[in-house]
Amino acid sequence: MKTRIERAMPGARAQVEGADRHFSALVVAPGFEGRSRVEQHQMIYVLFRDEMASEEVHALALKTYTPAEWEKERAHVAGHP
């Protein structure tokens, strides 16, 4: 999953976890700039449409960020203002 996301979205970085048809992914991509969270998630879901239709992937929870949003999130988590 990680490789497919990163190949499909130039400059993207992905972390994927999960097993037994339930997965979660954190994706940081420049291609998310100017898009709503729903549009960002749709960009990822379309990559796994066939697997989700066949239920090879039953659930895919997403957290998506632009690079700027990710830097703010990392600073927040680290306890910086």
Can you give the pLDDT at residue 77?
72
Q: Which among 74, 79, 8, 69 has a CA at the least distance from the CA of 36?
A: 69
CATH class in words for 2-77: alpha beta
**Whether pTM exceeds 0.85:** yes
Q: Judge whether 64 and 29 are in contact, CB under 8 Å.
A: yes
| Local mean pLDDT, 10-residue blocks, the chain (81 residues) | 97 96 97 98 97 94 97 78 51
Cα(52)–Cα(28) distance, integer angstroms: 22
Spans of all domains in the chain: 2-77
